[in-house]
């Protein structure tokens, strides 16, 4: 099924969302972001056990649509985060495990989108970078936040402030991607990872995703408490109905 710039399909229990704006290197226009938001509410996604996000074989995404950026007033930017700009957090908040399958350019908002997923599989052609500061802005769809958490503050400065570009192998060495594969094998490999995750208990995955996210910002005592409470509720949910609770 295609919603225009975002194609939705299923591969078994995994939903595959493909950005389809190749002529503009999958630049993330507000139109594309809105279609991605809608796609996330599609039944094919909401009933899935894992989600793969890809831009196809040539490019993941060259980032925010630079044509639109020039036209945005401060008021429009504030409104943007309530509208299509919410898509990055929506991806990050999905209960299912999520995997980005990256080939070619993965820049700016494209990298921010990939960072909003749980895992990133890159083929050897992938190029990662955050060029925003070079054009007078900054990564502002969770990019600074997630980059620091993915690679640490020193390397985040290289990416965000110096606009350093990374090959797939460098991105792997820095911990920005989870694995690297042969050119063109990224989708197949991402589907393999997604398939493994899809076979795991969905409630355990959903709860643990939230605990991991919280752990990045929460003091140790609170994180330990969160773990224990999550464990207690998951254990309760996993208990066979016939078991005597006493
Ligand atoms: N927004 C809007 N359009 C974009 C785009 C973006 N971020 N990135 C690429 N495009 C468009 C180009 O304008 C061009 O359209 P046209 O054929 O109608 O002129 C088409 O996509 C192909 O891009 P092109 O620049 O010709 O490809 P390239 O292979 O020579 O260079 C890049 C690829 C990614 C290096 C280059 O396109 C680029 O630097 N893009 C902007 C990246 C960026 O700054 N992103 C972050 C924005 S905050």
Ligand 1 centre distance from Cα of residue 25 (Å): 6
Torsion angle, CA of 106/91/207/151, rounded to 10 degrees?
30
On whether both 109 and 209 belong to a single domain, the answer is no
pLDDT interval class at 246 (50, 70, 90): low
The whole-angstrom separation of Cα 25 and Cα 2 is: 18
Q: Which atom of ligand 1 is nearest to the CA of 132?
A: 48
Q: Is 75 a catalytic residue?
A: no
Read off the pLDDT of each residue in 206-221 and give the average, rounded to a whole number: 94
Structural domain count, the chain: 2
Ligand 1 centre distance from Cα of residue 208 (Å): 37
Which CATH number belongs to the domain containing residue 109 in this structure? Answer: 3.90.226.10
Is the pLDDT confidence value at 204 over 60?
Answer: yes
Q: What are the Cα distances from residue 160, in Å, to 77, 106, 166?
A: 20, 14, 12
Is the pLDDT confidence value at 1 over 60?
Answer: no
CB distance 20 to 7 below 8 Å = yes
pLDDT interval class at 242 (50, 70, 90): low
Task: State which residues form the domain around 220.
Answer: 202-238
On whether both 135 and 221 belong to a single domain, the answer is no
pLDDT interval class at 72 (50, 70, 90): confident
CB distance 41 to 47 below 8 Å = no
On whether both 149 and 223 belong to a single domain, the answer is no
Is the pLDDT confidence value at 197 over 60?
Answer: yes
- pLDDT for 121: 98
Catalytic residue among 132, 179, 182, 243: 132
Is the pLDDT confidence value at 38 over 80?
Answer: yes
- pLDDT for 27: 98
Q: Which atom of ligand 1 is nearest to the CA of 67?
A: 2
The three-class DSSP label of residue 47 is: coil
Which residues contact ligand 1 via a Cβ below 6 A?
24-25, 27, 62-67, 105, 107-108, 131-132, 135
Residue nearest to atom 40 of ligand 1 (CA): 62
On whether both 66 and 124 belong to a single domain, the answer is yes
Paired strand residues for 61: 106
Q: What are the Cα distances from residue 64, in Å, to 38, 120, 240?
A: 18, 19, 48
For every residue of 64-129, DSSP letters joined together read B-HHHHHH--HHHHHHHHHTGGGHHHHHHT-SS-EEEEE-SEEETHHHHHHHTSSEEEEETT-EEE
For the stretch 130-163, pLDDT in tens is: 999 999 999 999 999 999 999 999 999 999 999 9
On whether both 99 and 215 belong to a single domain, the answer is no
Residue nearest to atom 22 of ligand 1 (CA): 24
Q: Is 188 a catalytic residue?
A: no
On whether both 177 and 217 belong to a single domain, the answer is no
On whether both 92 and 173 belong to a single domain, the answer is yes
Q: Nearest Cα to 160, choosing from 112, 103, 227, 114? A: 112
For the stretch 82-119, pLDDT in tens is: 999 999 999 999 999 999 999 999 999 999 999 999 99
On whether both 105 and 215 belong to a single domain, the answer is no
On whether both 139 and 125 belong to a single domain, the answer is yes
Best residue among 62, 68, 132, 133 to mutate for probing ligand 1's pocket (most ligand atoms within 8 Å of CB) is 62
Torsion angle, CA of 206/210/216/220, rounded to 10 degrees?
-110
Q: Does a structural domain hold residue 245? A: no
Q: Does a structural domain hold residue 243? A: no
Best residue among 21, 24, 25 to mutate for probing ligand 1's pocket (most ligand atoms within 8 Å of CB) is 25
Q: Please give the mean pLDDT across all residues of the chain.
A: 95
């Amino acid at each position: 099924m295609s919603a225009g710039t975002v194609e939705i399909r299923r591969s078994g229990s995994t939903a595959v969302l493909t950005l389809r704006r190749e002529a503009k290197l999958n630049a993330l226009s507000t139109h594309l972001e809105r279609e991605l938001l809608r796609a996330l509410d599609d039944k094919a996604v909401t009933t899935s056990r894992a989600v793969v996000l890809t831009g196809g074989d040539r490019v993941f995404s060259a980032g925010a649509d630079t044509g639109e950026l020039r036209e945005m007033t401060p008021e429009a930017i504030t409104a943007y985060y309530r509208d299509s700009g919410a898509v990055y957090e929506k991806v990050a908040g999905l209960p299912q495990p999520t995997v980005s399958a990256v080939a070619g350019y993965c820049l700016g908002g494209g990298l921010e989108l990939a960072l909003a997923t749980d895992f990133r599989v890159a083929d050897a052609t992938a190029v990662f970078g955050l060029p925003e500061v070079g054009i007078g802005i900054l990564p502002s769809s969770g990019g600074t936040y997630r980059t620091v958490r993915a690679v640490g503050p020193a390397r985040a400065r290289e990416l965000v402030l110096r606009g350093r570009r990374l090959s797939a192998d460098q991105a792997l060495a820095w911990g920005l991607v989870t694995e690297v594969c042969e050119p063109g094998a990224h989708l197949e490999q991402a589907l393999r990872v997604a398939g493994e995750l899809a076979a795991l208990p969905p409630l355990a995955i959903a709860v643990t995703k939230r605990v991991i996210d919280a752990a990045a910002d929460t003091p140790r005592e609170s994180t330990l408490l969160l773990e224990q409470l999550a464990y207690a509720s998951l254990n309760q949910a996993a208990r066979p109905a016939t078991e005597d609770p006493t």
